[in-house]
Amino acid sequence: MGAFGHYLTSHLDTLRQEFWYLFVGGLANGFIYGMVAIGYTLVYGVLRLINFAHSEVFMTGGFASYFVLRAVIGTSSPSGFMSVVDVLIGLLAGGLFGALAATLLERTAYRPLRRRNAPALAYLISAIGASYFAFNLAGKEFGRYNMAMPQPFMNHIVFRVFGAPVQMYYLIILASGLTMLIVLDRLIAKTSLGRSIRAVAQDAETASLMGVNIDRTIAVTFILGGALGGVGGFLYGLGSGVAYTMGFVPALKAFTAAVLGGIGNLRGAVLGGLILGVVEQLSVAFVQAAYIDTVAFGILVLVLLFRPTGILGERLGRSA
């Protein structure tokens, strides 16, 4: 057996031993990627444009929940019922301020250009400019260092799956992610608002002729995506802290997840996030931790090469 054979055997054995530990962590990351990816896929569905400032919406949710929890918790150590309340406060703060940031972004960087029938390149430059402005503003106002999120709960091991510990942090991500994703899926599928969003995504011009308020529908789409992105920022900050740079890599991975699942498809965004989270965690058995990010972006390149529409990709209609 050659050197490569020894390498492969050794790392496959590592993967076998640590599979469930890596799998559980990958699912947790995947739910966060999925929530952020929905912001990309919602906006793309109605505008056929990528919101390159979504990383700063994610960051806004993280910082908002940080400051709110710092004011609420202070130096105390919540437990029991108060832990539940504080987690809900963090989720609400992240979602609310994420939605506000997305609304501001839509009103300043997208709506004026849309009313002037600007070319797609103008939207791209406007979104990148907004992202750069928010990025540097956060660095100037909040400092250019990482801050630990006030912890609203004790992160202990709740149970084990085939020997792999499942921490309270993972359960909070799972419960929050599943709840929000199921509610959004039902909202899009069963309500009049959801029908408006699907109509604009399918054919904006015809939807307008049928009486759909295009501006309101697009604004609500940004709000929904921003709320999920802000909650994702809070959940990410619980484990990794908050910083003005916190949105860059997770948002790029979420974009990869959206493309992997089929951008424009909500369930595809969630599926892509889960697959990406698990695959990049399992890759730890084969590559050094410093190269994990390259796995995610390698997946993006492969998807674009071999299946550009993604796993659940759909044929898209005309943009707003």
Could you read off the pLDDT of 80-95 as tens digits, one per residue?
788 899 999 999 999 9
Q: Rounded to the nearest 10 degrees, what angle do helices 54-73 and 81-105 cross at?
A: 150
Task: State the pLDDT at residue 211.
Answer: 83
* Conformation bin of residue 218: beta by default, left when phi > 0, alpha when psi is -120 to 50: alpha
pLDDT in tens, 200-254: 888 778 888 788 888 899 999 999 999 999 999 999 999 899 999 999 889 989 9
Task: State the pLDDT at residue 172.
Answer: 93
C-alpha–C-alpha distance, residues 304 and 297, integer Å: 11
Residues sharing a CB contact under 8 Å with residue 124, sequence separation 6 or more, in sequence order: 49, 50, 52
126 near 47, Cβ under 8 Å? no
Q: Which fold has domain 18-306?
A: ABC transporter involved in vitamin B12 uptake, BtuC (1.10.3470)
Average pLDDT over residues 291-312: 81
C-alpha–C-alpha distance, residues 39 and 42, integer Å: 5
C-alpha–C-alpha distance, residues 303 and 268, integer Å: 13
- Which pTM does this prediction carry? 0.89
Q: Is the pLDDT of residue 62 over 80?
A: yes
Residues sharing a CB contact under 8 Å with residue 156, sequence separation 6 or more, in sequence order: 167, 168
Q: What are phi and psi of 78, to 5 degrees?
A: -60, 150
Radius of gyration of the chain (CA): 20
Sequence spans of domains, the chain: 18-306
pLDDT in tens, 172-196: 999 998 998 899 989 988 888 888 8
pLDDT grade, residue 5 (50/70/90)? low
Helix or strand holding residue 157 (H, E): strand 157-161
Task: State the pLDDT at residue 79.
Answer: 76
Q: Give the helix, strand, coil percentages of the chain, each rounded to 5.
A: 75, 5, 20
Which residue in 194, 196, 203 sits closest to 320, CA to CA?
A: 203
C-alpha–C-alpha distance, residues 297 and 253, integer Å: 7
Q: Is the pLDDT of residue 319 over 60?
A: no
pLDDT in tens, 16-57: 777 888 888 889 999 999 999 998 998 888 888 888 899 999
